[in-house]
A and B are shown apart, each in its own frame.
Chain A
Amino acid sequence: MSNGPLQIKAISGHAGPVPGRDTSRDYDVAKLIDVTTCIGCKACEVACLEWNGYPFRETVFDNTYQTMPDLAWNYYNLIRFNEYVDGDGTLSWLMRKDQCMHCAEPGCLMACPADGAIVQYSNGIVDFQQEHCIGCQYCVTGCPFNIPKFNSVTKKVHKCTLCSDRVGAGLEPACIKACPTGCLHFGSKADMKELANQRAKQVREQTSHKNAGVYDPAGVGGTHVMYVLHDVEHPERYGGLPKDPQVPLMVRLWKGPLKWLGDIAMTAGVVGLVLHYVRYGPKRVEEEPKKPEPKGEPK
């Protein structure tokens, strides 16, 4: 079965070839966030809440333009705001739309023990299935971006779905639809990557941001949410975006070599005990001798 979008094969009464016929393209989807054109209006935050049917939360003011300190189980999308002053005293307002990055090698999925609680679609979307979630929060430990959030009442973990329900129906995610500046783009990963590189080049050539670049970290196999940053060398300035995100070493150890060692040890243990029984059999009780004889310990 094709996992691509519906492609028209023939058109009635149409002069010339069918547009797009016999072409194929990757169906990996990606979101591109050009932080250089984000104005921090938070329309994406509102659209996200509206589409997902969550009430608007009480905001927390901590002297920035940020709605609240962190994402929440019913708040998938947050503009992180940072005032950054560089060496020569230039002030920048750095605004970054923070949400799930939809890693190609997701740490949450690797860490999750519950059958079917996290799925990765062939288009790259990583989605949580709350009906299978057991609330252990290993995904929180596995995520290098601090994204999944726990609902302590329902004991389920939630995060951005990249609007998998909309994308599955051929629509773009709600946040994309709401963005007024065109800083949010949605399309195939290859197209978004190309667009991102063009934009980064433009920023490098036409502004003073000579380190502008694309954030698509290789440590997690690339992400299906990418950023164009003014300074790709210092992503941590944008509200703690990690420079080289990796699935935590402990998680990789525990799901990798230790898992193998444990499996082998437990299996070998059971097999060894069965073999032992077959070889030596049970211990026998010696009947008490008629006359008690002093019995020393043989050396």
Chain B
Amino acid sequence: MGSLGDIERYTFRERVMHWLTGLTYLYCLATGLAFYSPHLYWLATMLGGGPTSRFWHPIIGVLFLMGTLWMNNMWRRDMEITETDKRWLDRVENYVANRDNLLPLSERFNAGQKLFYWLMVYGALLLLLSGIFLWVPEYIPRQASWIRGVMILVHEIAALATIGGFLIHIYMGIFFVPGSMTAITTGFVSRAWARTHHRLWYMRVTGGTPPQE
């Protein structure tokens, strides 16, 4: 796939894994927002009604966590935050303002992607942990009913945190970084794309030596 000279950025397995996590998250987001706000309850209506959404939300949520664990198995080494990443994050305003030449060079994932990754991994764990209590509250004895209230709060805060990351992720994937959507659907990026956004990774996979910092 891809035109001549393109570089494979995501393998087939990685793409399946990404879309499993992404689409299951999207479903949980839509149904979750419906339960969160009366103004968004129409989302549940569109997705088959309130009871159907309530039934599937936790089950799809478990699939989302499984996707996340699979992702963790594949990507956690690529996602380790390094000293370079910390320097990148110190100057993140340059990334935001498209002054990328003022930033340390990135490996396969840049520091922003790594932060988003860890936000989603820990967010998913918290969501599942608190979600179990909301899934089958009838098994929690009345004496411990305060746990349900606490877990609703934890679920909400964890959800809001992941929503923040998710909004940025969607915005960047679709609008801010052209080429990333093709990368995660077809698996390939152009050499120039790889060189621009992930210079160290580009050097590594094309056999070049990274420039001295």
Contact = CB atoms under 8 A, between A and B. Distances in A.
B142 A146 contact: yes
A277 interface: yes
A270 to B, nearest CB: 6
A150 interface: yes
A297 B137 CA distance: 55
A297 B178 contact: no
B108 interface: no
Nearest to A280: B98
A248 B149 contact: yes
Contact of A141 (B54, B149, B168, B192): B149
Nearest to A263: B37
Contacts of B157: 258
How many chain B residues sit at the interface, stated as a range, is 35 or more
Interface in B22-73: 34-38, 41, 44, 50-51, 53-55
B166 to A, nearest CB: 10
Interface stretch (B9-17, B74-82, B99-107, B117-125): B99-107
Interface in A96-135: 113-115, 117, 132-135
B62 to A, nearest CB: 17
B196 A115 contact: no
A113 B176 contact: no
A105 to B, nearest CB: 17
B35 A113 contact: yes
A283 interface: yes
B126 interface: no
B1 interface: no
B211 interface: yes
Given A262-B160, A277-B171, 6 more contacts: A251-B152, A254-B153, A269-B163, A269-B168, A273-B171, A282-B178
30 contacts: A113-B38, A115-B50, A134-B35, A134-B51, A136-B35, A137-B138, A140-B137, A140-B138, A140-B145, A141-B137, A141-B148, A155-B51, A251-B149, A258-B153, A262-B160, A265-B160, A265-B164, A266-B160, A269-B163, A269-B164, A269-B168, A273-B171, A276-B96, A276-B171, A280-B96, A283-B177, A286-B195, A288-B192, A292-B208, A297-B104
Interface of A: 113-115, 117, 132-138, 140-141, 146, 150, 152, 155, 248-251, 253-254, 258-259, 262-263, 265-266, 269-270, 273, 276-277, 280-288, 292, 294-298
